[in-house]
Amino acid sequence: MRAVVTGAAGFIGSHLCQRLLSLGWEVVGVDCFRDYYSPDIKRRNLKECLSHPSFFLVGEDLALSNFSFLQRGDYIFHLAAQPGVRKSWGREFSFYVQDNILATQRLLEASLQKGISLFLFASSSSVYGNSPDFPLREEARPLPFSPYGVTKLAAENLVRLYYENFSLPAVSLRFFTVFGPRQRPDMAFHRALKAILTGGEFTVYGDGNQVRDFTHVEDIVEGLIRALEGARVGEVYNLGSGREVTLSQALGAMERVTGRKIRLKFVEAAKGDVRKTLADITKARKDFGYEPRKTLEEGIEQEWNWIRSLYGD
């Protein structure tokens, strides 16, 4: 079978490509190596994939592509996006519109013309915003609290429209705060573990009591694989850990795992940051047997070892 993975050089995309290759898939990885963070880090993410005979890398911008890499019957994992809540304000918003909305619409249109087998879209818990529902269920009314969340919801709605109007087989999966090796440099666990390694300060936006559903990247990838066969087309699913953890608790776990203290600097909560997230994963568990297995401490240890290899210790 042949899979197309957009955002292949990114954090989650590179892990997914490796997993698919290990299962015997032919994988076409698509990435434009946007400089949101170092393209060199992204190329390092793909090091193992690039040496695999069944992996093919396409360097294209989906907002401009002619989609010549698509074939009839492909399974598409659409992970490419402009990430980050805090950078999505002001003049940067145009990049989010291009990469998260326009690129998705163009890929959906091309997928319809090619007759693909399944379109799996990587959405985000950011679509919920500060929802009054807790834990967050797929039926909750989306109330994005950031421009980034708005663009992910818009893309998710486009996926739904192509399913409802043209019967394009498509599923949306809402990821909750993913962590693990290869996490982006701007993300909290990466910054915190780097600060522990180097003796620098970790900036806490807010009081540290904000709640997150921290989900290990291996569990997310397993959810994507399981969704291939068990997810119902046209549906939306949460992919999270189902565990409620405050940022302060997570930082404490990092100190226990590393055996080192972290220096903290508290600043005002960032605009667009929600107060709490927690996934209700009942639907994914029932429909395709999704069951997150990595503990917070296990995942932190893996990411810590990767941070040490990346920056030296």
Q: Would you please indicate which residues are annotated as catalytic (active-site) residues? A: 148
Q: What residues contact residue 104 under an 8 Å CB cut-off, 6+ apart?
A: 62, 78, 121, 155, 158, 159
Nearest Cα residue to 212 out of 115, 152, 126: 126
Asked whether the beta carbons of 170 and 233 are under 8 A apart, the reply is: yes
* Distance in angstroms (rounded) separating the CA atoms of residues 100 and 43: 22
Asked whether the beta carbons of 238 and 174 are under 8 A apart, the reply is: yes
Q: Assign 128 to helix, strand or coil.
A: coil
Asked whether the beta carbons of 48 and 69 are under 8 A apart, the reply is: no
Q: What residues contact residue 10 under an 8 Å CB cut-off, 6+ apart?
A: 31, 42, 45, 79, 80, 184
* Distance in angstroms (rounded) separating the CA atoms of residues 136 and 26: 35
